[in-house]
Amino acid sequence: MSHSVIATVTPNPAVDYTVLLSETPTAGEVLRTDRTRYDAGGKGINVAKYLATLGTDTIATGFLGGFVGEYLDERLSETAVPTEFVEIDGTTRLNTTLLAPDAEYKINQVGPAVDPSAIDLLIESLSVHEPDMVVVAGSLPPGVDAATIDRIAAAGEWETTVDLNGTVLADLSEGYALCKPNRAELAEATDRAADSVESAISAARSLRDRGFARVVASLGSDGALMVTDDRTLYAPALETDVVDTVGAGDALLAGVLSGLTRNDSPENALRSGVAVATRVVGATGTRVPALEDVQTLRNSVSVSSR
């Protein structure tokens, strides 16, 4: 599998607003902090940022609207990620993460509705760029459903990778090169338990049989696994200080795809994914941390056949 350009589609982008608190919030209390971040986010955008930093050619697409959408596009223009978003009515999401000493709190907006004409424009744009792979990732706003994703997958010669809600994964009917559920999405997509590594492997094998050439599952502190047509590979997580889990699954996916782009073996692609995710959970927000040592770090990742 060899790909030169990967286009990411974020149907429901967001500006990720991250707040670091020195104490846990309680009702009625006013907390003050000067430790905040605003990052261009949404799963597909995150994947594109990590891919670009890893040296993989990419372009970020999707739907943007309102003043938040303008801000997000401006922030991305400061990065190495080329963009071509479709403008829509409504306002792009502002998603909030509160990092308190004892817990992580997330508040995600639903997002603006997407008109059918915007979907037509997105597919036209992808067709012009002729990517080798399209990655559709993140939550789906009103107006976008599993049938929309199938339509994108079937619209060109590209292969398609998806990182979507479990119920959406279960409703897809086209053939896909890869899907990347987390543990909860894996359970939701297959109606099976995925609370242990062994049960997650069983669920991932079941999901692969539904039309996904590869299933890469992120299992948090348990690491990650990859199921192909003839192999099941498992990699435990590396020891690291976890600061913020936002973007960890996107980092795993970007590392795996970057490896596959280089024609790495499935084992080394999975190692790359775990290495990138390890670096990302050590940084706040969805900013891209230093990834220069990923090739070295991945040598520390053990991969076993299961």
CA distance 108 to 96: 6
Q: Which is the catalytic residue, given 16, 222, 250, 264?
A: 250
Cα–Cα distance list, 50 to 41, 150, 219 (Å): 12, 25, 19
Joined tokens for residue 126 = 């992808």
pLDDT at position 286 is 63
How much is the pLDDT for 2? 42
Q: Which CATH architecture fits 9-26+34-305? A: 3-Layer(aba) Sandwich (3.40)
- Asked if residue 114 lies in contact with residue 143, where contact means CB atoms within 8 angstroms, the answer is yes
Percent of the chain with pLDDT over 90: 78
Instruction: Count the helices and strands in the chain (H runs, E runs).
Output: 10, 14
CB-CB contact of 209 with 229 (8 Å): no
Domain boundaries along the sequence of the chain: 9-26+34-305
Chunked mean pLDDT (size 10), the chain, 306 residues: 79 94 92 91 92 94 97 91 96 94 91 97 96 96 97 97 97 97 96 94 95 95 94 92 80 95 94 91 72 82 92
* Per-residue pLDDT at 280: 82
3-state secondary structure 221-255: HHCEEEECCCCEEEECCCCCCCCCCCCHHHHHHHH
What pLDDT digit, counting tens, does each position of 288-297 carry?
767 777 888 8
Q: What is the pLDDT of residue 290?
A: 73
Nearest one of 39, 42, 36 to 21, comparing CA atoms: 36
Whole-angstrom distance between the N-terminal and C-terminal Cα of the chain? Answer: 23
Query: Is 250 one of the catalytic residues?
Result: yes
